[in-house]
Amino acid sequence: MKRKPIRISILVSGQGRGTNMQAIIDACRSGKINGEVVLVIGVRDDAPAMERARAAGVKTVALSPKNFASDDAYNEALLTTLQEHQVDLVCLAGYMRALGANVVNAFRGRIMNVHPALIPAFCGKGMYGHHVHEAVIQRGVKYTGVTVHFVDEEYDHGPIIAQTVVPVEDDDTPETLAARVLKHEHETYTNAIALFADGRLKIEGQRVRVLPQSDC
């Protein structure tokens, strides 16, 4: 029996172009993911990713932290918005803020993030976007990659769902490396979401086991 499609909300930043968001929307509409992006939440209504979401016909809600008296008030509004839209899975796509404990607890095991490196390397607070690729090149590692993980109370720390290895070339710049990694972000992230939608992810402590299709 076919599973009920999941309802997905994507959280975006004020600066990102929204390519991971678009990849998720496209994967839902193509049938790769048994789900629908029902809501995109951003911190600025005029952010590129928000405009891209509206162009794709997806509902957007802007929640600017500046409009709230405290982080707690902002996180309460965020949680309320997610619950009002009956969201099953929250996907972070360049979202730079740490989620409040109330949001993490309410959606534990149902929040995903994609990181442009192989966690636990080159991750944590301050390690995002070009900062990651600059650090990778400066350190001289031969491989970097993509990690999709469930979100917990710490930056880039929750159980790892999937990883893809990407080679670092001798003549790479942060820009060329970022472009190569981004292509793998789209595929790795949508693959992980598809597994979640099919009920094939089981968290066991800090590990995530992918269940065979027959076990779902």
Look up 186 and say whether it is catalytic: no
CA distance 26 to 39: 14
Residues contacting 27, CB < 8 A, separation 6+ = 33, 190, 193, 194
Catalytic residue among 115, 133, 184, 186: 115
One DSSP character per residue, 23-88 reads HHHHHHHHTSSSEEEEEEEES-TT-HHHHHHHHTT--EEE--GGGSSSHHHHHHHHHHHHHHTT-S
SS3 146: strand
Contact status, residue 99 vs residue 111, Cβ threshold 8 Å = yes
What 8-state DSSP symbol labels residue 215?
G
C-alpha dihedral sign at 136, 140, 141, 145: positive
Contact status, residue 130 vs residue 174, Cβ threshold 8 Å = yes
Name beta bridge partners: 163: 147
Active-site positions read 115
